[in-house]
């Protein structure tokens, strides 16, 4: 089988997958984006379609208001950029019902590392293609990266408890109510006992196999595995651990880990896992979803083949996202959807006084994930009748500490460019005096190494605004780039046209 990695390019970390009636369904983390938990489908593991997202219907119960971002300086001089929100969903199918279990990481008022809590929730549907999901069942068990195991008539949750140690706990639950039937029990501390997380249990050949991620989600990331004849342990680790890691290699695909093993329609085993594409210290796309073949003989340990990789831009991942489909659009945190109207490439939004640097409020922003390493994003901004105190434009956004924006300030009659990365103490801005009658266009041209920002007024010539090296936007982070339009002002209607990403 010939496929191109990453199978889900762009902002797509922590994949989980299951096979339902001959179709694969894959979900990933979404952190601060709304709607959350995107769903991708495939019949052949080669071509994929983004069919929607799974934000729980009851947003008051699963709120993204505190999906803020911590900056945590490390001793090596780098900074951990840790965003809250929806972490590491697991998707499973049992007796005609599809379940997703996920963590909502809620940051505290101080917005400092350590001031956070987590909630687990489960949603389900009898028709995953319909997009109709149940209300969330919430249980307040601390931890991250929950997984589900259906074993005969019982249901179990595996969960990573974080703290000084990252350890894996197992508990039996009532899947209808979320009530714990047994208390959480420690079943494994991990192979290297460092950031043991992302657990999944598989029952195969009379064994319970426990797959985990270890080493942290950056350069030391890895997959490890253990097994036991008894679900509750003790678990023995694989003598060949790590099951897979790119650490210490010169492979293009690095930081590989947090995977989910699965069997295809022909009995072949695979693993979906997260990783980054790293070139000369740059990984502008962040954590993406990759596919690797697995050899798993009966009664034996599995082995993972290194993910197939290519740097040939003519061999692109096959991901179908209709430009006019609503599934592509995302907002920040708990967005007020009444402020937005989209018709194809035309967008109308009601500007808000909330700035891009806001840690918890929802900026008047609508955009799409960047999917291509090399491409162009562009939009036209139309002159409003009463533009008092309005800024509006185009932005490449990762979080409230890291974004690049080009906009028009109607008060000052200036095109303004701003580059902000609080993790690297980058704060740069430039302004250009510009007047226009009907419209002004903005453009971002991106490659693996650079980001170039331009503008043109009233169909005139394109003018260069600024350029940035993508190495300045490669951090120890959880999120990936989203490109969209925004408006900052007091409830002014802002009209955009010709919006495109990855053209």
Known catalytic membership, residue 309: no
Known catalytic membership, residue 197: yes
Which of 152, 156, 202 lies closest to 18 in space, CA to CA?
Answer: 202
Residue 120 main-chain phi, psi, to 5 deg: -100, 145
> Three-state SS for 294?
strand
The CB-based long-range contact list for 415-420 (8 Å cut-off, 24+ gap) reads 415/440, 415/455, 415/465, 416/391, 417/453, 417/465, 417/466, 419/466, 419/468, 419/472, 420/356, 420/357
Q: Kind of pairing, strands 426-433 and 207-214?
A: unpaired
What are the distances in angstroms from CA 440 to CA 63, 245, 457, 459? 36, 48, 4, 8
Which of 333, 287, 371, 302 lies closest to 88 in space, CA to CA?
Answer: 287
Which of 377, 363, 409 lies closest to 499 in space, CA to CA?
Answer: 377
For residue 180, is the peptide bond before it cis, meaning its omega torsion is within 30 degrees of 0? no
Burial (CB count within 10 angstroms: exposed 0-12, middle 13-18, buried 19+), residue 480:
buried
The answer to whether 220 and 208 are in contact (CB under 8 A) is no
| Calpha distance 158→169 (Å, rounded) | 6
Strands of 264-411, DSSP E: 269-277, 288-295, 303-304, 318-320, 331-332, 340-343, 346-350, 365-369, 375-382, 391-399, 402-409
Out of 14, 214, 260, 475, pick the active-site residue: 14
For 296, half-sphere exposure in the C-beta direction (CA atoms, 13 angstrom radius) is 23
DSSP 8-state assignment for residue 364: S
Q: Kind of pairing, strands 391-399 and 482-488?
A: antiparallel
Burial (CB count within 10 angstroms: exposed 0-12, middle 13-18, buried 19+), residue 491:
exposed
Out of 116, 197, 352, 477, pick the active-site residue: 197
**Signed CA dihedral, 251, 253, 256, 262: sign only:** negative
Residue with tokens 């997202």: 53
The answer to whether 480 and 285 are in contact (CB under 8 A) is yes
| Calpha distance 242→61 (Å, rounded) | 38
Residue 455 main-chain phi, psi, to 5 deg: -150, 160
Query: Which of the residues are catalytic?
Result: 14, 197
């Amino acid at each position: 089988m010939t496929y191109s990695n990453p199978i889900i390019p762009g902002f797509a970390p922590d994949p989980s997958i299951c096979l339902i009636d001959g179709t694969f369904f894959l979900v990933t983390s979404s952190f601060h984006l709304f709607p959350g938990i995107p769903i991708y489908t495939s019949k052949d593991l080669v071509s994929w379609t983004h069919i929607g997202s799974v934000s729980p219907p009851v947003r008051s119960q699963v709120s993204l208001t505190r999906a803020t971002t911590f900056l945590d300086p490390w001793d090596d001089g780098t900074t951990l950029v840790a965003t809250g929100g929806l972490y590491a969903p697991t998707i499973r199918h049992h007796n005609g019902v599809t379940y997703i279990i996920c963590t909502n990481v809620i940051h505290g008022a101080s917005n400092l590392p350590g001031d956070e809590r987590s909630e687990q929730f489960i949603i389900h549907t009898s028709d995953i293609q319909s997009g109709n999901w149940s209300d969330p069942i919430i249980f307040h068990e601390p931890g991250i990266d929950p997984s589900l195991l259906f074993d005969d008539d019982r249901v179990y949750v595996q969960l990573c408890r974080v703290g000084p140690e990252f350890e894996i706990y197992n508990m039996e639950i009532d899947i209808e109510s979320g009530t714990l039937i047994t208390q959480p029990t420690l079943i494994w501390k991990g192979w290297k006992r460092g950031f043991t997380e992302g657990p999944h249990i598989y029952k195969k050949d009379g064994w319970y196999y426990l797959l985990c991620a270890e080493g942290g989600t950056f350069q030391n990331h890895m997959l490890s595995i253990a097994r036991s004849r008894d679900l509750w342990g003790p678990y023995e680790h694989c003598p060949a651990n790590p099951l897979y890691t790119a650490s210490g290699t010169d492979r293009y695909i690095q930081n590989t880990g947090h995977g989910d093993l699965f069997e295809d329609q022909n009995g072949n085993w695979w693993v979906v896992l997260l990783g980054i594409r790293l070139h000369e210290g740059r990984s502008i796309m962040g954590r993406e979803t990759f596919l690797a073949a697995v050899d798993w003989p009966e009664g034996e340990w599995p082995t993972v083949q290194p993910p197939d990789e290519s740097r040939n831009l003519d061999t692109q991942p096959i991901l179908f996202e209709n430009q006019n489909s609503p599934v592509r659009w995302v907002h920040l945190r708990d967005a007020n959807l009444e402020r937005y109207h989209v018709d194809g490439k035309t967008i109308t939004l009601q500007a808000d006084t909330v700035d891009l640097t806001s840690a918890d409020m929802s900026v008047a922003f609508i955009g799409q994930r960047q999917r291509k390493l090399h491409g162009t994003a562009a939009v036209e901004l139309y002159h409003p009748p009463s533009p008092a105190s309005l800024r509006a434009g185009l932005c490449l956004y990762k979080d409230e500490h890291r974004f690049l924006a080009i906009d028009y300030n109607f008060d000052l009659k200036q095109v303004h460019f701003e580059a902000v990365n609080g993790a690297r103490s980058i704060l740069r801005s430039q302004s250009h005096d510009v007047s226009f009658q009907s419209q002004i266009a903005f453009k971002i041209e991106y490659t693996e190494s650079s980001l170039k920002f331009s503008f043109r007024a009233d169909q005139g010539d394109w003018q260069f605004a600024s350029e940035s090296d993508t190495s300045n936007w490669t951090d120890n982070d959880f999120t990936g780039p989203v490109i969209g339009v925004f408006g900052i002002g007091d409830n002014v209607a802002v009209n955009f046209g010709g919006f495109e990403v990855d053209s």
